[in-house]
Structure 1
């Protein structure tokens, strides 16, 4: 729906003969940056970090490390069925923002152009974070490491965080299913054997 509305707004900005029509394409990216992006960028959890660590410590030897990753990417982990859609939306909208920013500069609407570049940057940063754990987990380069220990380390944290997050909401079926899918991965089973001393997730 957002993509359709965005396409209509961009089309209207160039085709409708109205003094404010040129700004219509800026409305949706701006709203998305103001309403949705902060939750993805701030990295604020719905559960206090100390409580998260306490819960995870019942099963995970690296509970503190997992807590830091979970808090940082809370939005991505909390909404496993929609985080990919938010990532797609943020990509489309940051491209729209940069494009319209260029258009505004060409029309000598410099303040509007600068504002859209800022909006685009915010949405770009959001696109990198809003589905980060699953994007990293699905990335073969992160999984393999490719002589990059940091990449492999993040892959391990991403995989374990997806599994561990379901421990915070044990009655949530979507989170449980998401965790189960990852836990059945052969490489993840090795991580669970190493770090999870109550290996029910595997």
Structure 2
């Protein structure tokens, strides 16, 4: 839907003979950057940090690390069935924003160009965060890690956070299904054995 609306708005911007038509294509990216993007970028959780840690500490010996990661990517973890759509939308709209930015600067409409550059930057940052845990988990380069220990570490946190987030909302079927799928991964089972008490982990992380 976002893609169709965006294409229609851009077409109208460059085809209609109206003095303000050129700016119509900017409306959707700017609104998305103002209304939707902050939820992905600010990392504001749906419950207090203390409550998150308290819920996780009963099952995980690395609850503090998981809490930090979950809070940072709360929106991505909270909406597993739609986070990929938000990422697709943000990619579409940040490309649109940078395209319109170039067009506006070419027409010497510098204020509009600057606004679109800022909107594009915000949407680009959103595209990096809004579905990051699942993108990291699905990325074989992060899984292997190679010489970059931080990549492997983030892969571990992403995988465990998907499972741990379901612990915060045990009655949510979508989150539980997502967690169960990740739990079947052989590498993840190894992590659970080291960090989750009901899988045999010790109390020392």
Normalised by the size of structure 2, how large is the TM-score?
Answer: 0.97
Deviation at 1:166, TM superposition (A): 0.2
Deviation at 1:146, TM superposition (A): 1.6
Q: Equivalents in 2 of 1:58, 1:123: separation in Å?
A: 37
Q: 1:191 — aligned with what?
A: 191
SS of equivalent residue, structure 1 residue 55: helix
Deviation at 1:147, TM superposition (A): 1.1
Q: Does 1:64 align with 2:64?
A: yes
Q: 1:155 — aligned with what?
A: 155
Q: Equivalents in 2 of 1:188, 1:24: separation in Å?
A: 47
Q: 2:80 — aligned with what?
A: 80
Structure 1: gaps of 5 or more residues = none
Deviation at 1:199, TM superposition (A): 3.1
Q: Does 1:40 align with 2:50?
A: no
Deviation at 1:167, TM superposition (A): 0.3
SS of equivalent residue, structure 1 residue 198: helix
Q: 1:25 — aligned with what?
A: 25
State the Cα RMSD in Å.
Answer: 0.8
Q: Does 1:132 align with 2:155?
A: no
Q: Equivalents in 2 of 1:17, 1:191: separation in Å?
A: 61
Q: Does 1:4 align with 2:4?
A: yes
Normalised by the size of structure 1, how large is the TM-score?
Answer: 0.98
* Residue correspondences, number: 200
Q: Deviations over 1:118-177 (max 9, x none)?
A: 000000000000000000000000000021100000000000000000000000000000
Deviation at 1:198, TM superposition (A): 1.6
Q: 1:120 — aligned with what?
A: 120
Q: Equivalents in 2 of 1:187, 1:108: separation in Å?
A: 54
Q: 1:105 — aligned with what?
A: 105
Q: Stretches of 4+ moved more than 4 A in 1?
A: none
Q: Deviations over 1:95-139 (max 9, x none)?
A: 000000000001110100011000000000000000000000000
Q: 2:203 — aligned with what?
A: none
Q: Deviations over 1:71-105 (max 9, x none)?
A: 00000000000000000000000000000000000
Q: Equivalents in 1 of 2:53, 2:176: separation in Å?
A: 19
